[in-house]
Amino acid sequence: MRTSVALPASPASRTRPQSRQVFFRKKVVPWLFVLPILLINVAVVLGPALSAVYYSMTNWSGLGPAEWVGLANFQRLAADGAFRHAFTNNVVWLAMFLTIPVGMALGAASLLAPVKRGSLFFRMALFIPYVLPSVITANLWRALLSPDRGIPAALTDLGLPGFDRAFLGSPQTVLPAIGFVDNWHWWGFLMVLFLAAMQNIPRELYESARLDGAGRWREFMDITLPGIRPTLVFMILMTTIWSFLTFDYIWILTQGGPAGASEVLAVLVFKEAFRNYNAGYASALGLTLSFFVGIVISVFVVLRRRGWEI
């Protein structure tokens, strides 16, 4: 009678199931955890984005079937005076917000950085406007800027010239006035971020600079600015993006008026889509707006790859 002897499994056959388990655990399981958020992004980001690309090449009112027109919407956009005016207002808005609030935030943060007692109070006081809803802030400042009963009326009663006008009703002053209101809530947020970055700079650098006879200005230029450069550049990037996407304060205060004087690209997109029922043309405007934002992001990506500390 023959007896069969079981041969030991080869090392290759033992490691094959183990390698499958390792592959499943390291390659498949992470994707299973990420899959829900990917599906949500496909539904709420990728799907609408592809739809916008399609509808930008159609004549569509937002209801019913869309008529394919190719690049006609983009040709119309190139000759549209309203688009050029809105883009110019966006550039003006960008220039205001890359200079005034950033400068104010840097100055306030550098003054508050050495303060130890009461620093939390100052941070909270300057940060509170940022957390207020834009509807509340805009309506408060609408009343404060009223030429009949607001701050201009009070200054006019004191005999100061140049304030007896409706700042939100004049084409020459409406955009700076809205920018002033938006800046009132925005610069405190920048200040808190810059202050947090400044307080991470080693104190020894400032002590060495003082021993070398450096003044406050030299300390700020040679130590503070290089020390907060990543935060500063990142906030410049975000301010640039948000300046192209600005909508809420302009819409709440003037809806782009008077006579389109404060109209920016986001307001123009909204009007074309939901007032003029030109959803196809609004999609072309939205893609153009996204293109400008993409250029800004691409510039920062290129600078980072070239070794810039941003």
Per-residue model confidence as pLDDT tens digits over 253-274: 999 989 899 999 999 999 999 9
Q: Is residue 32 part of a domain?
A: no
Dist CA 148 CA 178 (whole Å) = 18
Q: How many domains does one find in the chain?
A: 1
Which amino acid is present at 281? Y
Residue 221 located in a structural domain:
yes
Q: Any idea what the CATH number is for the domain that residue 131 is in?
A: 1.10.3720.10
16 domain residue, yes or no: no
Torsion, Cα 304 93 194 120, to 10 degrees, reads -150
pLDDT bucket at 8, cuts 50 / 70 / 90: low
| pLDDT tens, position by position, 151-173 | 888 888 888 888 888 899 999 99
Percent over 90 (pLDDT), the chain: 46
Q: How far apart are CA 68 and CA 66, in angstroms?
A: 6
Does residue 183 belong to any structural domain of this protein? yes
First vs last C-alpha separation in the chain: 81
CA nearest 233: which of 193, 204, 201?
Answer: 193
Task: Calculate the alpha carbon distances from 159 to 107, 153, 162, 164, 269 in Å.
Answer: 31, 10, 10, 10, 42
Pairing of strands 58-59, 67-68: antiparallel
Structure tokens at 76: 């119309």
Q: Per-residue confidence at 249, pLDDT binned at 50, 70, 90?
A: very high
Beta-bridged to residue 59, according to DSSP, are 67
Is residue 277 situated within a structural domain? yes
Mean of the per-residue pLDDT values for the chain?
Answer: 87
Mean pLDDT over 77-102 rounds to 93
Domain that residue 155 falls in: 72-305
Residue 19 lies in a domain: no
210 domain residue, yes or no:
yes
